[in-house]
């Protein structure tokens, strides 16, 4: 079963969001961005604990900025609540689900991260295969709405705007089909440091392999 994009959801300035996943071989990837005194301690999807993959932290201002990656295989279908614990209201959530994704353990071929200081662009290169699907998230303050690099499709764009009209905080996510090596990136505003993470998601049955079933 080939991996395919299913759906995406996002929310700004909240600790939970509703996400609807449909199909077989589901994996949901959850990105949590927060500006808080503590990192997220857990994520649940429909009441079931997600697994923490990795994340990045930067001290930007009075509190730390966090961007982390969580996942769950075989999540419940239909509308489900994705909830973050251990942080405060300055939380941004992006959820991207895939069908036909790997179900036995860690579903990622690769994970990478970057946190450049006030650059004009950001990029990562993922180890991948032609049967993977790649997904990323970028999180920052004063991040204007930008379009991801060629080959990527934007899936999530959530922001919290304060009274002075600046985009105070923003989380954006995109996807790109896999290849032997996949470069992902965004043009960014150099006014503030940026946190950036990306993963390549494996298919349920590797090409030329056998179904992941045991008897």
State the total domains in the chain: 1
Rounded distance, CA 97 to CA 30, Å?
9
- Please give the pLDDT value at position 161: 78
Please report whether residue 215 resides in a domain. no
Please report whether residue 91 resides in a domain. yes
Please report whether residue 209 resides in a domain. no
Its pTM surpasses 0.75:
yes
Please report whether residue 211 resides in a domain. no
- Please give the pLDDT value at position 174: 98
Please report whether residue 132 resides in a domain. yes
Domain that holds residue 15: 4-201
pLDDT 10s per residue in the chain (215 long)?
899 999 999 999 999 999 999 999 999 999 999 988 888 999 999 999 999 999 999 876 667 889 999 999 999 999 999 999 999 888 999 999 999 999 999 999 999 999 887 788 899 999 999 999 999 999 987 777 789 999 999 999 999 876 655 557 899 999 999 999 999 999 987 667 789 999 999 999 754 555 443 33
Please report whether residue 118 resides in a domain. yes
Please report whether residue 206 resides in a domain. no
- Please give the pLDDT value at position 214: 36
186 has which bridge partners?
Answer: 122
Rounded distance, CA 8 to CA 174, Å?
10
Distances (CA, A) of 208 to 1, 106, 184, 205: 12, 20, 27, 8
Please report whether residue 214 resides in a domain. no
- Please give the pLDDT value at position 27: 98
Rounded distance, CA 73 to CA 106, Å?
9
């Amino acid at each position: 079963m080939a991996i395919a994009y299913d759906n995406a959801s996002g929310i700004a300035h909240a600790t939970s969001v509703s996400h609807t996943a449909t199909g077989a071989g589901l994996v949901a990837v959850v990105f949590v961005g927060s500006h808080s005194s503590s990192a997220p301690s857990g994520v649940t999807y429909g009441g079931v604990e997600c697994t923490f993959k990795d994340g990045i932290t930067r001290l930007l201002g009075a509190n730390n900025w966090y961007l982390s990656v969580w996942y769950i295989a075989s999540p419940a279908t239909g509308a489900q609540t994705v909830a973050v614990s251990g942080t405060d209201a300055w939380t941004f959530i992006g959820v991207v689900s895939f069908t036909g994704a790997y179900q036995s353990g860690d579903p990622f071929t690769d994970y990478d991260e970057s946190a450049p200081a006030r650059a004009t662009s950001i990029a990562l290169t993922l180890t991948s295969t032609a049967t993977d699907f790649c997904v990323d998230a970028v999180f920052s303050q004063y991040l204007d709405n930008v379009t991801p690099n060629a080959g990527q499709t934007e899936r999530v764009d959530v922001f919290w705007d304060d009274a002075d009209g600046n985009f105070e905080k923003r989380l954006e996510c995109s996807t790109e089909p896999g290849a032997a090596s996949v470069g992902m990136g965004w043009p960014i505003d150099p006014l503030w440091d940026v946190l950036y993470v990306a993963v390549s998601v494996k298919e349920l049955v590797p090409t030329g392999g056998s179904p992941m079933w045991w008897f």
